[in-house]
């Protein structure tokens, strides 16, 4: 089965209910637990007398209420429908959902247990929120319970452990493999929107990092492979936070005076990949961002990511004190961090693949299984960006790309390779004037 | 952070204890729950008086017992050790493990809760076991609780749902995305061994399958991309189980008489990828097998897979009634199946990547992010096979590969592409004589 | 500058004239020598009184004749024209051509020396022609003087030297590097047509071949690279022409009894790449065919190639007595051959990339710089074939490709990699009925 | 046959003679014409009485002289020899060479016609030479007659035409396809040495350039391919030589104010690929340099290239007034140039692939059929550089590459893709101290 199967198959329509007492109207967060996963979605209900209407997953909904007993029916555009039977207890609705499959082949659809909880009145936006993680995750999953709900415009201060799971105090807090902080549920975020993550500050919060001394297979030809001896060791680096430089703790002879300027970056920034199975793990990347390991995701950069699941479900992790392009040795200077970011929501804007922007330039990223394929994605991402923001026609896009592109390979040590097409704002000034 | 990070970081040493009453000697299955994962491992204990010895993860162990109170210490080759404090209740030991990190940077190692359960005396091998799945999984994880424990030599009969989660009766049993049956814990299997999975029978157990009508991006050049119109639909196929042919239920004009011979195959056969995070999801493949989608994994084929986690943890799923090379349209004829297989253990044999063998030929597979990289893996896999089994030197290997290889692209529609190097036994006969 | 530049730049319009005495009407082969190259083209002239008309490179032509003095003007669709001044001596016209560049930037177009020779009345088609090569070529060039002119329907018997330049008698006849026999100018062949080359017989004409014992870099991963010792030697093979088997002359221990069935194939079949500079060399392949090294180009196969230059300019060479898929060891069993083929012309049929057909199956090839890109070309080539010959829509094409494709990697040891999409005629029978 | 065949096959040993009158001692340039190629090499002769000794292609030589009649014999390390019969007329020797093949399979080696001309006493090095090209070449061939002989240390001023063959005055001087200026024969350059080409000045010598407005297939994914409409046109650019800016002559609406800073670069710098067939054409690149299209090959850069043929045979061409990374639109701003460079010879230094250096950084290049393979070559090239110049061990190399690399994709529009690994000298300062 292929990677696109899920989008086609998950016609599973999950539908949901309403709360007791007076009025069930409101926005509910719905969860459906089944097998090894949980799906989250949003239900909007309007009650008029005993009649209920609203939407669920973009589909119109209608139903009735008799005391605590609620019946709802929803149909998608193909006319497939399902019926739900729920019981309202305060602002919590529980019961079953029986989706219908229009193919005629699903003889007996699953009867799924659902829970819908009235969303709390959102706090006013623009607040600064503190999040202290206690649990860390190893997949960019849409089926993980949100760790905190935030509003567009909110600023969040939190911390990340290093790729091996160790925190600022040298305490290992989770199994290794890019344990992630989050996920943050962004109020109002829906598939088809874009999430903007403004990185405000990445503060190094300890004085050491770890890295490696081998070369990733993607960067080694046979002539180099045969020379690789005594490599594969873990290298500990001292971070001189005041001096702004890193140096190996026990360097070999020739690296005695070798220094690396500190340039803290976030290796992982991700929205949940899609409200479906199976989710990519925390070593992976793709159109949802993820383990991008791009050394331009630093303070003052904004990362734009497509939203694929209700609430976006933002994950952050895998801080590096510094990293060369490509992470050729398999790891940056891996360390823990204090992370401060602000999120904004751009409704109804489709972002095909991750984008990063800072004061000087725009950067369109592509992450695929080979550098060649990543380049195709990155170029197409940038062409799409120029088309939508500057209204260029294809001929104009080609002329800009041909004369203004900087092309960098961001990452080759992970599951996917990454490529960035970069254009300075200086080059684009004339375009804005020409609109 | 890169994909090899985990192997280095997971120095987490989990150590375990012993049972009360008389004698704690025996083999224990250990589980450690932490954050979003569980690790399984095997502990061997010998009790003499109040003294305990044994092994854990290949490391020697020593300790003492005072009634229910057990203290154990283990050291790896680097001299890193940890201490455990456990309480024995019958044949279950519970308590804590405090691994030690030799780097000097982990200031306070995690205190992990561990449970060790005495392994039941294994049944005699060679039995036929029936397994009826009730839960399906979406990752090839070493941290999933085993669904059944089997012995090398056992034959298992079970069923698989289709890639969308629907079973023989048309009942959707799990979310889509290659839900897997298993995992099966194979007694005695340890990292460094090879698991042989003999596919005895793949019985189609319903008369329909689903597929698609688009072309995967890996197989489309720009000139073809612009012609793709009205594609992306789900196509239902009727399986004529008696006639041995499949045909589209509602074919377009030109496919009215188009028939596809039924050749049932298993899309997914996998051992757990490694006893670490993060696990690959059920759409992925690699050295552990996984979603290989290779149309030679049919009845009478044997699949050899490396073992990376104690018990191997075998998963099967994603049956296809038929599939062309490459799965160019994104899906085979996806259907449910009755699956019968027998497992054998080949101790201390390292298999670098999946291998398949039938009566006529040997097939070395490679699964990577591009076809080019998969070819390198497959060739190296076959070279390794010829070297270990036929004692050939590199010059001889090159001459065989150059004159006898058939090279097929098995799969391009998944996360990884796949390539098979195939050599007929006819060609290898002379070699056997020459040993 | 890129690979597509030439097509844009070579607006150079070369135009040509007519012969004295009575009537200049007829078809002329034109040659223009300039710098390090010669262009060949075809001029059609009609004389009525002193007025001349006709076509050149698809462009209409008009002019006048006064005794031996001829003036001609031609315009392309953009209105760019040029004027020629020629002198007719019998059926040979010589003089100058001054092409005009419409851009306004070419201040002074080159004055090119041209020669046009009246094409001899073609012999009747369907003859058997004998060609004894005395000169061999190392580029698939449209600017090489044709070695023989043949008619569609003609059968040619000729010989090829091995890749190192040695012939049937062990005499080295040319520098190594796939010296080619030809080129054959096919009367009437014009760009936009397809050339069908029916391979009638490939007769091995000596009892030895040479090959190698290393593995090409495209098939080696780092783990295999470090094992390659004592490889890179030339291996001589004995060809048992009666027994139909090849064996190494001095095999290492384990290959003592190793035999390879003889399956003679042509490594190179090519039309001239395009009437422009720079031509691909004889180690290269592409849409024009070339050094495809595909082991299905054997007796009874038909190779379809696009025609890019007037006369097609067919080259053949690089025979192999046998070869595994991929030519993983860098060479097949390289030997000299007697080659018999018949050519046919399919006017106004565009063939995007090479195709091969035999009694059992159709095979669409793709040759590009990576296996991944070659697959895209091959799939698109086959999709185009199914669309044009079976009238399938894109959805139907995807269903056929998904269920009937065999995909082989033909070649990785050359400049380009090659991939073949193969479909058995058995599968396509139903389609023909459905037309 | 594969790309490495030639190196193995061309055992053709060409040997050469001596001049009349008094003393034949001296250095001769030898040429051997055969079929469609010419080989050049260097012969060193010492005459003592009637006895001759010396070297040819690194092999020792001995022979006799009787008046004008000269007989020479040479043997390679395998003991293969050949005999020559020559006649000396002044300082020109002509005659035949009969190489011997040690395989026992070449029954009758070719009798080749050879000519050897005494090399003029070289002028003192360090001169400034003026070269006015009259002929341009479309292959990086070792078999092209040198256009000028220069000394290491010489500075050359010459001109290049644009990729379409047009010069500073708008006169088309050659067929399109990167016509090259040269080749320059560098006295004393031998295979195994490195040629350093210091680019002193690239002066734009006209006020216009041409380019394109499409996107190369390597940079287009299917989603972008379907949007490409009305592209593929030639775009003319005005070069404001005083203002240092380029602008389209007839821009579409949005590019009205779009300006590109002029940064003149040389698209092609190459040594002859190897003294063998078939040579790469002028659109190609590789370890010999060639059509690298790297926008850092500007004034003040030094290009290091391996020497594969006697005299190096340096070609330059394909100037661009400016170019974005990757040449995504298929062409830079293609124009003619005045080119000034100085050559230096670094004896017995092996350079595996092209390198570029300027005042700020070192840049190791890789050119292969895919971006993935080019990255492997570039990384290995840089690792080799750091190892040889800074004496780093593999662990140190990995740490430098991991923390200091910038990785750019230089070129995707040509036959090969290109990747550059770049390291600032600032980072390497500490290393020098550590030696």
pLDDT at residue number B82: 73
Ranges C88-92, C186-190, D105-109, D329-333, most confident: D329-333
Work out the mean pLDDT of chain A and round it to a whole number: 87
- In D, minimum Cα distance to A215 occurs at D398
Q: Above 80 in pLDDT, residue D313?
A: yes
Query: pLDDT tens digits, residue range B221-231?
Result: 988 988 888 89
CB B329 within 8 A of CB B210: no
pLDDT one-digit tens code per residue, B335-390: 999 999 999 999 989 999 999 999 999 999 999 999 999 999 999 999 999 999 99
Which H/E stretch holds residue B270?
strand B265-271
Q: Residue B432: its pLDDT value, please?
A: 59
For residue A258, give how far its alpha carbon lies from the nearest alpha carbon of chain D (Å). Answer: 5
| Cα distance between residue A245 and residue A203, in whole Å | 14
- Interface C–D counts its CB contacts (< 8 A) at 255
Model pLDDT, residue D433: 46
Share of chain B above pLDDT 90, in %: 60
> Residues 204-233, chain C: which have Cβ within 8 Å of A?
217, 220-222, 225-226, 228
**Structural contact between residues C424 and C366, judged by C-beta atoms closer than 8 angstroms:** no
Mean pLDDT of the region C218-245:
92
CA distance D416 to D368: 5
pLDDT, one tens digit per residue, over D116-166 is 877 666 667 789 999 999 999 999 988 788 899 999 999 999 999 999 999
Q: What's phi and psi for B396, nearest 5 deg?
A: -65, -40
More confident residue, A34 or C176: C176
- Average pLDDT along chain B: 87
Mean pLDDT of all residues in B26-46? 77
Q: Is the pLDDT of residue C350 over 80?
A: yes
How many CA atoms are closer than 13 Å to the CA of C255, on its beta-carbon side?
A: 26
CB contact under 8 A, D254 and A390: yes
Percent of chain A scoring above 90 in pLDDT: 60
B228 contact residues in C (CB cutoff 8 A): 394
Which of A224, A398, A408 is facing D380, going by the closest CB pair?
A: A224
Of residues B151 and D111, the one with the higher pLDDT is B151
* Angstrom distance (rounded) from CA B198 to CA D304: 57
CB contact under 8 A, C225 and A228: no
Instruction: Give me the mean pLDDT over the A276-283 stretch.
Output: 80
Binning pLDDT at 50, 70 and 90, where does residue C98 land? confident
Q: Is residue D223 predicted with pLDDT exceeding 60?
A: yes
pLDDT of residue C430: 77
Q: Which residue among B277, B283, B415 sits closest to A177, beta carbon to beta carbon?
A: B277
CB contact (8 A) between residue C402 and residue B328: yes
Does residue A20 surpass a pLDDT of 70? no
**Tens digit of pLDDT for each residue in C17-46?**
333 357 888 878 787 777 776 677 778 889
What's the confidence (pLDDT) of residue B8?
30
Quick one: angle between helices C425-434 and C371-390, nearest 10?
A: 40
ipTM of the complex: 0.84
The answer, yes or no, to whether residue D24 has pLDDT greater than 90, is no
pLDDT confidence of residue B248: 95
Query: In this model, does residue A136 exceed pLDDT 50?
Result: yes
| Of residues D78 and B311, more confidently modeled | B311
pLDDT in tens, B111-137: 777 888 776 666 677 899 999 999 999
Q: In sequence order, which residues have a C-beta less than 8 Å from that of residue A28 and are 6 or more positions away?
A: A16, A17, A18, A19, A42, A43, A44, A45, A93, A116, A117, A118, A119
Q: In what order do the strands lie in the sheet with C208-212?
A: C208-212, C234-240, C245-248, C260-261
| Protein fold of C128-207+260-350 | Jelly Rolls (2.60.120)
Euclidean distance between CA atoms D73 and C227, whole angstroms:
40
Contacts of B252 in chain C (CB under 8 A): 393, 395-396
Cis amide leading into D206 (omega within 30): no
A290-304, C3-17, C97-111: which is most confident: A290-304
Confidence of residue B35 (pLDDT cuts 50, 70, 90): confident
Running DSSP on this structure, what letter comes out for residue C234? E
* CB pairs B-C closer than 8 Å: 277
pLDDT number for residue C108: 64
C330 reaches B (C-beta below 8 A): yes
Does any CB of chain B come closer than 8 Å to the CB of residue C274? Answer: no
pLDDT of residue A103: 60
H or E element at residue B225: helix B222-225
Taking alpha carbons only, the member of C304, C300, C339 closest to residue C319 is C339
Note whether B36 contacts A137, CB cutoff 8 Å: yes
Domain residue ranges in chain A: 2-118, 128-207+260-350
**DSSP 8-state code for residue A369:** S
A65, pLDDT greater than 70: yes
Tell me the three-class secondary structure of chain D, residue by residue: CCCCHHHHHCCCCCCCCCCCCCCCCEEEEEEEEECCEEEEEEEEEEEECCEEEEEECCEEEEEEEECCEEEEEEECCCCCEEEEEEEEECCEEEEEEEECCCCCCCCECCCEEEEEEECCCCCCCCCEEECCCCCCECECCCCCCCCEEECCCCEEEEEECCCCCECCCCEECCCCCCCEEEEEEECCCCCCCEEEEEEEEEEECCCEEEEECCCCHHHCCHHHHCCCCCCCCEEEEEEECCCCEEEECCCCHHHCCCCEECCCEEEEEEECCCCCCCCCECCCEECCEEECCCCCCCCCCEEEEECCCCCCCEEEEEEECCCCCECCCCCCCECCEEEEEEEEEECCCCCCCCEEECCCEEEEEEEECCHHHHHHHHHHHHHHHHHHHHCCCHHHHHHHHHHHCEEEEEECCCCCEEEEEEEEHHHHHHHHHHC
Residue B12 confidence (pLDDT): 27
Cα nearest neighbour of A329 on chain D: D402
Residues 287-326 of A with CB under 8 A from B: 291, 293, 318
Residue B215: pLDDT over 90: yes
Name the closest residue on chain D to residue B373, using Cα atoms. Answer: D372
Give the integer Cα–Cα distance in Å for A215 and A324. 13
pLDDT at C172: 85
pLDDT, tens digit, 9 for 90 and up, residues A249-260: 999 889 999 999
**Beta-carbon separation of A225 and C228 below 8 A:** no
DSSP conformational letter for C137: B
Say whether A36 and B276 touch across the interface (CB within 8 A): no
In this prediction, residue B435 has a pLDDT band, given cuts at 50, 70 and 90, of very low
Whether residues B137 and A36 touch (CB distance < 8 A) is answered with: yes
Q: H/E element holding C367?
A: strand C361-368
E strand or H helix at C35, and its extent? none
Which residues face D382 on adjacent strands?
A: none
Longest CA–CA span in chain B (Å) reads 82
Joined together, the tokens standing for residue D34 give 């055969």
Question: For B372, which of D222, D226, D372 is closest by C-beta distance?
Answer: D372
pLDDT confidence band for D68 (50 / 70 / 90): confident
Nearest to B231 among C218, C257, C394 (CB): C394
In this prediction, residue B27 carries a pLDDT of: 79
What average pLDDT score do residues A210-238 get?
Answer: 91
Second-level CATH architecture of A2-118: Beta Barrel (2.40)
Token digits for C23?
């009537």
For range B298-324, the mean pLDDT: 96
The whole-number pLDDT of residue A37 equals 67
Looking at residue A332, its pLDDT comes to 96
A80 Cβ under 8 Å from any chain B Cβ? no
Q: Exposed, middle or buried, D72 (CB in 10 Å: 0-12/13-18/19+)?
A: buried
Instruction: Kindly tell me if the per-residue pLDDT of C277 is higher than 70.
Output: no
Task: For residues D236-248, give the mean pLDDT.
Answer: 97
Residue D168's pLDDT is 96
The pLDDT score that the predictor gives to residue A1 is: 53
Q: Which chains touch A (3 or more CB pairs under 8 A)?
A: B, C, D
| Residue B212 banded pLDDT, cuts 50, 70, 90 | very high
The more confidently predicted of residues B91 and A160 is A160
Tally of CB atoms within 10 A around D378: 32
pLDDT at site D112: 77
Residue of chain A nearest C221, judged by CA positions: A222
The whole-number pLDDT of residue A253 equals 87
> Which chain D residue has the Cα nearest residue A225?
D380
Using CB atoms, pick whichever of A217, A221, A226 lies closest to residue C217.
Answer: A221
In percent, the amount of chain C with pLDDT more than 90 equals 60
Q: What is the pLDDT of residue A3?
A: 44
Q: How confident is the model at residue A367 (pLDDT cuts 50, 70, 90)?
A: very high
Mean pLDDT, chain C, integer: 87
Instruction: Judge whether D271 and D354 are in contact, CB under 8 Å.
Output: no
pLDDT band at residue C81, thresholds of 50, 70 and 90? confident
Interface contact D226-B225, CB threshold 8 A: yes
- Residue B227 to residue C372, Cβ atoms within 8 A: no
CA distance D87 to chain A (A): 46
Q: What is the pLDDT of residue A278?
A: 76
Percent of chain C at pLDDT > 70 equals: 88
CA distance A409 to D374: 12
State the smallest CA–CA distance between residue C271 and chain D in angstroms.
17
Residues 17-36 of B with CB under 8 A from A: 34-36
pLDDT at B334 over 90: yes
Q: How many CB atoms lie within 10 A of CB C35?
A: 17
Q: Is residue D222 scored above 60 in pLDDT?
A: yes
Instruction: Categorize the per-residue pLDDT at D101 as very low, low, confident or very high, splitting at 50, 70 and 90.
Output: low
The better pLDDT of the pair D363, C66 is held by D363
Pull the structure tokens for residue D315. Answer: 């070609």
């Amino acid at each position: 089965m292929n990677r696109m199967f899920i989008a086609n198959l998950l016609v599973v329509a999950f539908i949901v209910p309403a709360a007791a007492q007076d009025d069930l109207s409101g926005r509910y967060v719905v969860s459906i637990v089944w097998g090894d996963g949980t799906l989250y979605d949003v239900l909007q209900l309007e009650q008029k007398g005993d009649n209920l209407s609203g939407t669920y997953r973009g589909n119109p909904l209608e139903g009735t209420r008799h005391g605590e007993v609620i019946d709802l029916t929803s149909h998608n555009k193909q006319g497939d429908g399902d019926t739900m039977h729920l019981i309202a207890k305060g602002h919590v609705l529980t019961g079953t959902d029986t989706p219908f499959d229009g193919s005629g082949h699903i003889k007996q659809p699953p009867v799924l247990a659902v829970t819908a909880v009235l969303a709390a009145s959102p706090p006013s936006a623009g607040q600064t929120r503190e999040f202290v993680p206690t649990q860390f995750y190893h997949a960019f999953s849409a089926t993980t319970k949100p760790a905190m709900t935030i509003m567009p415009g909110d600023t969040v201060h939190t911390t990340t452990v290093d790729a091996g799971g160790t925190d600022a105090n040298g305490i290992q807090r989770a199994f290794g493999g890019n344990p992630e902080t989050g996920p943050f549920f962004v109020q109002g975020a829906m598939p088809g929107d874009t999430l903007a993550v403004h990185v405000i500050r990445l503060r190094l919060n300890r004085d050491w990092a770890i890295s490696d001394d081998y070369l990733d297979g993607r960067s080694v030809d046979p002539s180099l492979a045969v020379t690789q001896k005594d490599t594969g060791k873990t290298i500990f680096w001292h971070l001189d936070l005041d001096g702004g430089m890193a140096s190996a703790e026990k360097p070999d002879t020739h690296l005695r005076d070798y220094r690396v300027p500190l340039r803290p970056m976030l290796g992982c920034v991700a929205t949940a990949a899609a409200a479906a199975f199976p989710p990519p793990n925390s070593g992976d990347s793709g159109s949802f961002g993820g383990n991008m390991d791009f050394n331009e995701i630093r303070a003052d950069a904004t990362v734009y990511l497509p939203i694929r699941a209700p609430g976006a479900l933002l994950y952050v992790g895998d801080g590096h004190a510094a990293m060369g392009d490509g992470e050729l040795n398999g790891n940056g200077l891996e360390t823990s961090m204090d992370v401060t970011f602000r999120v904004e929501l751009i409704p109804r804007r489709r972002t095909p693949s991750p984008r990063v922007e800072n004061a000087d330039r725009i950067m369109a990223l592509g992450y695929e299984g080979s550098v060649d394929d990543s380049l195709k994605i990155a170029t197409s991402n940038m062409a799409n960006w120029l088309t939508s923001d500057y209204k260029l026609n294809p001929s104009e896009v080609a002329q800009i790309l041909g004369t203004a592109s900087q092309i960098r390979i961001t990452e080759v040590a992970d599951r996917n390779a990454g490529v960035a097409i970069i254009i300075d704002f200086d080059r684009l000034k004339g375009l804005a004037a020409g609109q």
